[in-house]
Chains A and B, each alone.
Chain A
Amino acid sequence: MNLRAVRAIYEFEMARTFRTLMQSILSPVLSTSLYFVVFGSAIGTHMHAIDGVSYGAFIVPGLTMLAILGQSISNASFGIYMPRFSGTIYEVLSAPISAFEIVAGYVGAAATKSVMLGVIILVTARLFVPFGVQHPAWMVAFLVLTSVTFSLFGFVIGVWADSFEKLQLIPLLVVTPLTFLGGSFYSIHMLPPVWQKITLFNPVVYLVSGFRWSFYGQSDVGVELSLAMTFVFLVLCLLAVRWIFKTGYRLKP
């Protein structure tokens, strides 16, 4: 194990975050806070409680998930896309470092940022709406698992993309709709029966549901299923990353 190399990449990426603190931490925190103000405090007071949880509190886990998904993908994809774009990737490729170590450095840093962001958002949310966490250990587990999984997904996108447009494409066209339709703002039991079935094909439903369960002990789908689906996605991403390094896809001509 070349731990020094993992650390070098990790620290480089973390330094990049702190250099661009506005963009990486403040802006998602700000936009999420706006959601809480509008949906939680303003509109939320006129909404019915869902399963005994006030609407303001109900949307906290979903909104946190939404920010984490988006930031994991954009941080990790940008982290590996930039060196490819600028050419500095040559140094990583010529270094005595394995594929696993490269991924550990880049994805580890992106996931760390996401977890930090999640915590900051939850603390911020607490200022707007009162809520408690029933299963803190599970909450942390879901937070970390989702951050790692979607940072891996972001890494894959960052390797696949060969332009800045493509870098934005998947997050914009796929991830944003899926997160908005993933039950962040509603319980899927509120949907018409047909849509209750269709929505089960949306992987984000499982993430949000599991995460919300760790807060309030209630979920749209079983928590075991949530966990299993997250793992499935994690494994898919790992396979994609393994394939990338095996074939050299877009990293090594």
Chain B
Amino acid sequence: MPPLVPAAISIRNVGKRYASGYQALKNVELEIERGEIFALLGPNGAGKTTLINVVCGIVTASEGTVLADGRDVVKEFRRVRAEIGLVPQEITTDLFETVWSTVSFSRGLFGKAPNSAYLDKLLRELSLTDKRNSKIMTLSGGMKRRVMIAKALAHEPKILFLDEPTAGVDVELRRQMWDLVRALRADGTTIILTTHYIDEAEEMADRVGVINKGELVLVEEKTTLMKKLGKRQLTLSLTRPLAELPEALAGEPLELSGNGTELVYTFDRRGHDGNVSGLLRRLGELGLEFKDLATRESSLEDIFVRLVSTP
């Protein structure tokens, strides 16, 4: 039985082959739940933008269907698109227009009646109020990006796509962007963002999808993903460098690095904790001394590198 409330976005077996013959997406299956922040993570050229563009009607899928709120995005484009907003990867706006006119244009284009109170509020939230009547060409890069967001939100969409919202953006603006996304989510907006910054997904997302070479490699709750794949590493800085691992330690998940000055012990977060003290004891027995030690948890970045580098 289908769920009573359809998913915000339901991508079914979507493939895309461009006219050049390049297969940019292969059998993508993905459900995005209402009200969540979903991060689509992948290296450059993985197909993130293509997937977003298929959902938003900018690229025609070669196979498969996409439903938004249970409706086919091609057949019922009028109903569907009125609920979706898109901030594209590139900043593309009409430079000669003013902020106000471009935002009003977007609202009209999506079929909404004029509402200056709402647009005023939107500009205020994006710190654009005093640029209301400025031509877009006179704005800074960060402001232009916020204008793009204002345009995407001008018709009060329920689902928002952000294609690499923080690529090439300074730290300050990045923070602002994250705050904005959280505020939107708090209002019930479903958010799908693409990024190749792992910390962004780690910071923001409820769930993460990893895409590589057009294939969705993995979709997971962020916390589950961290638990499942998260490793811990213990790094010991040795007082005297080693040429090679002592025979007695063979078979342990140990590696020598830093030209023999560091001993790295990798272990699962779960279960093997007891071994650390065991290891330290055995090192003492072998007469190996260390002057410092550090532990770290692998970040999403490490997980990601591991995922996409395995052939």
Q: List 6 A-B contacts (CB under 8 A).
A: A9-B109, A11-B105, A88-B92, A90-B56, A91-B86, A95-B81
Q: Is the CB of B79 closer than 8 A to any CB of chain A? A: yes
Residues in chain A near residue B151, CB distance under 8 A? 91
Known: A2-B111, A91-B109. A252 touches B58 (CB 8 A): yes
Q: Is the CB of B27 closer than 8 A to any CB of chain A? A: no
Q: Which residues of A from 207 to 237 have beta carbons under 8 Å from B? A: none
Alpha-carbon gap, A86 to B111, bound state (A): 23
Q: Is the CB of A195 closer than 8 A to any CB of chain B? A: no
Alpha-carbon gap, A190 to B96, bound state (A): 49
Interface centre among B78, B80, B151 (most CB of A within 10 A): B78
Known: A87-B90, A94-B84. A5 touches B111 (CB 8 A): yes
The minimal Cβ–Cβ distance linking A229 to chain B, given in whole angstroms, is: 36
Known: A5-B108, A8-B109, A96-B110. A252 touches B59 (CB 8 A): yes
The minimal Cβ–Cβ distance linking B289 to chain A, given in whole angstroms, is: 61
A10-45 vs B: 1/0 string, CB under 8 Å?
Answer: 011001100100000000000000000000000000
Alpha-carbon gap, A90 to B53, bound state (A): 9
Residues in chain B near residue A90, CB distance under 8 A? 56, 58, 86, 88, 92
Residues in chain A near residue B81, CB distance under 8 A? 94-96
The minimal Cβ–Cβ distance linking B103 to chain A, given in whole angstroms, is: 11
B31-57 vs A: 1/0 string, CB under 8 Å?
Answer: 000000000000000000000000011
Checking B59, B93, B101 against A253 with a beta-carbon cut-off of 8 angstroms, the contacting residue is B59
Closest to B101 in A: A15
Q: Top 4 A-B pairs ranked by shortest CB distance?
A: A8-B108, A87-B92, A96-B81, A94-B56
Alpha-carbon gap, A97 to B106, bound state (A): 12
Residues in chain B near residue A88, CB distance under 8 A? 92-94
Asked if A94 contacts B86 (CB within 8 A), the reply is yes
Residues in chain B near residue A86, CB distance under 8 A? 92, 94
Asked if B109 contacts A87 (CB within 8 A), the reply is no
Alpha-carbon gap, A8 to B101, bound state (A): 10
Chain A contact patch, size range? 20 to 34
Alpha-carbon gap, A39 to B56, bound state (A): 55
Asked if A253 contacts B78 (CB within 8 A), the reply is no
Asked if B96 contacts A19 (CB within 8 A), the reply is yes
Asked if B57 contacts A94 (CB within 8 A), the reply is yes
The minimal Cβ–Cβ distance linking A87 to chain B, given in whole angstroms, is: 3
Residues in chain A near residue B88, CB distance under 8 A? 87, 90
Residues in chain B near residue A9, CB distance under 8 A? 109
Residues in chain B near residue A253, CB distance under 8 A? 18-19, 59-60
B254-287 vs A: 1/0 string, CB under 8 Å?
Answer: 0000000000000000000000000000000000
Q: Is the CB of A135 closer than 8 A to any CB of chain B? A: no
Known: A12-B105, A88-B92. A4 touches B78 (CB 8 A): no
Closest to A102 in B: B109
Alpha-carbon gap, A208 to B94, bound state (A): 37
Known A5-B109, A8-B108; 12 more pairs at CB < 8 Å: A4-B111, A7-B108, A8-B105, A8-B109, A11-B105, A15-B101, A90-B86, A90-B92, A91-B106, A93-B56, A96-B80, A97-B111
Alpha-carbon gap, A99 to B93, bound state (A): 21
Known: A252-B59, A252-B60. A95 touches B92 (CB 8 A): no
Q: Is the CB of B240 closer than 8 A to any CB of chain A? A: no
Q: Is the CB of A248 closer than 8 A to any CB of chain B? A: yes
Closest to A9 in B: B109
Asked if B78 contacts A2 (CB within 8 A), the reply is yes
Q: Is the CB of A92 closer than 8 A to any CB of chain B? A: yes
Asked if A96 contacts B105 (CB within 8 A), the reply is no
Alpha-carbon gap, A91 to B93, bound state (A): 10
Alpha-carbon gap, A246 to B106, bound state (A): 24
Asked if A96 contacts B60 (CB within 8 A), the reply is no
Asked if B94 contacts A96 (CB within 8 A), the reply is no
Closest to A5 in B: B109
Alpha-carbon gap, A87 to B229, bound state (A): 40
Alpha-carbon gap, A9 to B101, bound state (A): 12
Interface centre among A19, A92, A97, A98 (most CB of B within 10 A): A97
Known: A94-B58, A96-B79, A253-B19. A4 touches B92 (CB 8 A): no
Asked if A248 contacts B60 (CB within 8 A), the reply is yes
The minimal Cβ–Cβ distance linking A28 to chain B, given in whole angstroms, is: 21
The minimal Cβ–Cβ distance linking A88 to chain B, given in whole angstroms, is: 5
The minimal Cβ–Cβ distance linking B3 to chain A, given in whole angstroms, is: 25
Q: Is the CB of B113 closer than 8 A to any CB of chain A? A: yes
Interface centre among B56, B58, B113 (most CB of A within 10 A): B58
Closest to B18 in A: A253
The minimal Cβ–Cβ distance linking B7 to chain A, given in whole angstroms, is: 20
